[in-house]
Amino acid sequence: MSDAEPGLRERKRLATRLAIQQAALAIAASDGLGAVTVDEISRRADISPRTFFNYFPSKEQALLGDDPTLPADEQLDVFVGGGPSGDLLRDVGVLLVHSTQALIDERGLISERQEVLRANPELFSRRMASMKEFQHEIETAVARRLEAGEPDPEVRRRQARLASIVALGALRHAWWEWSEQDGETRLVDELEQSFADLGALVSRSLV
C-alpha cells in the first residue's frame, strides 16, 4: 500500500500549492487567460509573488498543475534491476504510485482544469506534451530493464513503448475512477487497484 500520511509541514506545503492552483484556475475561468498574472494569483492565494515562484516557475504551470515524473532515486534503480516483484506491469504500477504520491489529489481541481484547458487550446497542447514526455520516461525505464533479457534493441523498443502506453492507460483509468467518487479514496489507492485489475485481466487471458 501507499506511504503514511504526510506530516504537518508537508501538509502546509501541499495546502499552499493547492491554493495557488485554485486561484489560477478561478481567475482563468471567470476572467480569461489574459487576466491570469502572478501578482493576482498571489493576492488570491494570500501569498507573496516570491513565494509563488517557490512552488511554480510560471503562471502557465500553476494552471496546468504538477507534471508527473518518475522518481529519480532508489525506486527507479530497483525497477530497472528487475524488482520489486519481478512482474513487469506490477512493478510499473509500483513506480507510478511513487510518482503519483507527489501530486495533489484534489477532485475539485479536475473539472476546473478541464474547463480551462478546453477554453485554451495552447494550454491543452502543453498538457499533452508533458504527458508524452512522461510516457517517454516510462518507455526508457522499461527499455533499460529489458536489456538484461532481450538482446534485440528493436524488440526492446517495441515492448517498452507498448508497456508505457498500457501504463498510462491504467493511470487514466485510475484518474477516472477516483474523480467520479465522493468518498475518501486517494488517487494512489485507485492507481494500485487499477494495476491490480490489469494484472487480473492479463492472468485471466492466459488461462
Please give the CATH number for the structural domain made up of 66-205: 1.10.357.10
Q: What is the pLDDT of residue 102?
A: 63
Give the model's pLDDT for residue 5. Answer: 58
Q: Where are the domains of the chain?
A: 1-64, 66-205
Nine cell digits for residue 96 = 507510478
Which residue blocks in 58-120 are alpha helix, DSSP H? 59-64, 74-80, 88-100, 107-119
pLDDT value of residue 20:
96
Query: Is the whole model's pTM more than 0.85, yes or no?
Result: no
Which amino acid is located at 50 in the chain?
R
Q: So what's the pLDDT on residue 3?
A: 47
Q: What angle do CA 104, 108, 109 make, to 5 degrees?
A: 55
What end-to-end distance do the CA atoms of the chain give, in Å?
Answer: 28
Instruction: Quickly name the fold that domain 1-64 has.
Output: Arc Repressor Mutant, subunit A (1.10.10)
Distance CA 136, CA 76 (A): 14
d(CA 37, CA 60): 9
Exposed/middle/buried for residue 199 (C-beta within 10 Å: 0-12, 13-18, 19+): middle
In whole angstroms, what is the distance from residue 41 CA to residue 22 CA?
A: 9
Q: Which residues of 138-159 are buried (b: 16+ CB within 10 A; e: fewer)?
A: bbebbbebbeeeeeeeeebeeb
Cell numbers of 3, please? 506511504
CA distance 89 to 187: 18
Mean pLDDT per 10-residue segment, the chain (207 residues): 63 90 95 95 97 96 88 89 91 87 68 88 91 95 94 95 94 86 79 90 69
